[in-house]
Amino acid sequence: MELTKKTHACVRLEKDGRTLVIDPGLFTEEDAAVGADAILVTHEHMDHFNEDRLRVGMEANPAAEIWTLASVADQLAGVFPGRVHTVGDGDTFSAAGFEVEVHGQLHAVIHPDIPRITNVGYLIDGGTVFHPGDALTVPEGRTVETLLLPVHAPWNKIAEIIDYVREVAPRRAIDIHDSLLQDHARPIYDSMIDKLGGGADHGRLTPGDRTALG
């Protein structure tokens, strides 16, 4: 399997000539979903879910399908009839040759006065890679090879991110959700996660960079 980092929280996974895209939101490239055979969306926030990004991908491949939670699926059912599947915590399914498990239910707390929305994470191919969306979900009972780490957001702080890496205990952690993190702050985050992350091989990719998984 090969992973391509796109801007912010979006990644592309490729295996056996097929492509799975996760979270092509507003901050990512307009063509992020082009070439996708399957698209997964973790939740409804604009930086993870953007109808225009999805439309470009779905029109480029009339056989492409979307898997997502109810809050997003309800918005898309009439847009892409018969091509949107609703999933939730505990579900398993196959999408474009990838085996997917769904973990989690709620978005992380942004502020106590802001109602929490739903959010799911996707564990791919038995733990080869885990994308948690906007939550620090631990896929209980599963070993995670590569954790996609939401390193910077209004809802988190570095101590929580470090503890999350320790709890999941992946072999490797790759930063996502990083558009709001300025370049001069990155070495600080890198140093703290590297030193305190429990031994995980931590790194980040520039949008467009690719890396082998598994």
Mean predicted lDDT score pLDDT of the chain? 97
What's the start-to-end Cα distance of the chain, in Å? Answer: 7
Specify the pLDDT at position 195: 95
| pTM exceeds 0.95, yes or no | yes
Dump pLDDT digits (tens) for 87-140: 999 999 999 999 999 999 999 999 999 999 999 999 999 999 999 999 999 999
CB 205 within 8 A of CB 6: no
pLDDT at 13: 98
What confidence tens digit (pLDDT) does each residue in 153-179 have? 999 999 999 999 999 999 999 999 999
pLDDT of residue 207: 97
Burial of 157: CB neighbours in 10 Å, binned 0-12, 13-18, 19+: exposed
For the cut 90, the answer to whether the pLDDT of residue 7 exceeds it is yes
DSSP secondary structure letters along 6-22: -STT-EEEEETTEEEEE
Q: Which CATH architecture has domain 2-212?
A: 4-Layer Sandwich (3.60)
What is residue 77's predicted lDDT score, i.e. its pLDDT? Answer: 85
Q: Where are the domains of the chain?
A: 2-212
pLDDT of residue 214: 80
